[in-house]
Structure 1
Amino acid sequence: MTNRELKSIVEAILFAWSEPLHIDELMKIIDQDKRTTRSILKELQDEFDHYRRGIVINERDDHFQMSTRKEHQEYLAKLIKQSNKKISNSSMEVLAIIAYKQPVTRVEIDNIRGVKSYSSIDTLKAKNLIKEVGKADTIGKPILYATTNEFLRAFDLSSLAELPSIDNLDKLDLDLEDDYDEN
């Protein structure tokens, strides 16, 4: 199989599979080693960028996914109503705690916040920003929560290592109303 055919196959797979796809899964599907698969993905990314295509291939924690180019968001916003994507400040607070403390239990989140977090956790799970990742090895085996690849995508992060340092958070000017709303 030629490199051109492999690129075409990978492009079709990423287009058809709207969820992030781990490189190991892609390797199995196209029956290639990791180096070759990564090379094909890099070539596709470079081509999409060179020709300023409306679609890009994003990488987050070895997961690859097609998405629209960020520069076209204002035009897409005219097509898609954004109102149901915002989340409340309390849910954003819970999300921040999970992002920085993961894996973390609801009780730990409640203790940090000083209030119950059931509703916020349910909202964040429904929006696929957090997920259950296991159970703590303590009495009652409480559920552990962590962020998802959708969280990385929503905040334009390649990995959790790109989260700002907790010490620098007060220096950031965050407008939380732009991206999400809880409805």
Structure 2
Amino acid sequence: MTDDSARHAVKMAKKKVARDKIMATKTDQKGLIMVHTGKGKGKSSAAFGMIFRCIAHDMQCAVVQFIKGGMSTGERDLILKHFPDTCAFHTMGEGFTWETQDRDRDTEMAQAAWEKAKELIRDPANHMVLLDEINIALRYDYIDINEVVSFLQTEKPEMTHVVLTGRNAKDELIEAADLVTEMELIKHPFRSGIKAQIGVEY
């Protein structure tokens, strides 16, 4: 063993002891409120990654899409075709707000999506519920942020995980969440004239 290798082995052994000590203190479990926000790509993709983990572990889960409407996406098509008994999937929106251009209709659809979300979250059989793009509905005040936070804090079953995605997460939601990830935009092909592509964006 070279001197560099020996030093590395000693350093990693010390790191393992320290890490094991930290891990020994992490014994609690709880259902988490998780927020994916920011201008960067990957908020919904990361959330669906967790949904597919639940499916892989045969854990009941659910998805409510607040904005994306009837557009076909890979994740929705896969879940509806192969895992409908494990993951309930509800597309409640009618498309992006700049497409619908009807605030009253958007509000009505967002409220219906929120009612469905509450029903799914209240069901203790659901290990995880994804509220995809709910932050957009909250940003435009289609849904009352105080009602959402209060519900998550008082009615969510203790072990149910809830994931909320979308840009511009409100401060109240960030404060209430257990985990918040902000996707930072550094480069995006859209700015170079590249449109959304199958297998990447949907």
Could you tell me the TM-score, scaled by structure 2's length? 0.27
Larger Rg: 2
Q: Which has the higher contact order (CA 8 A, sep 6+)?
A: 2
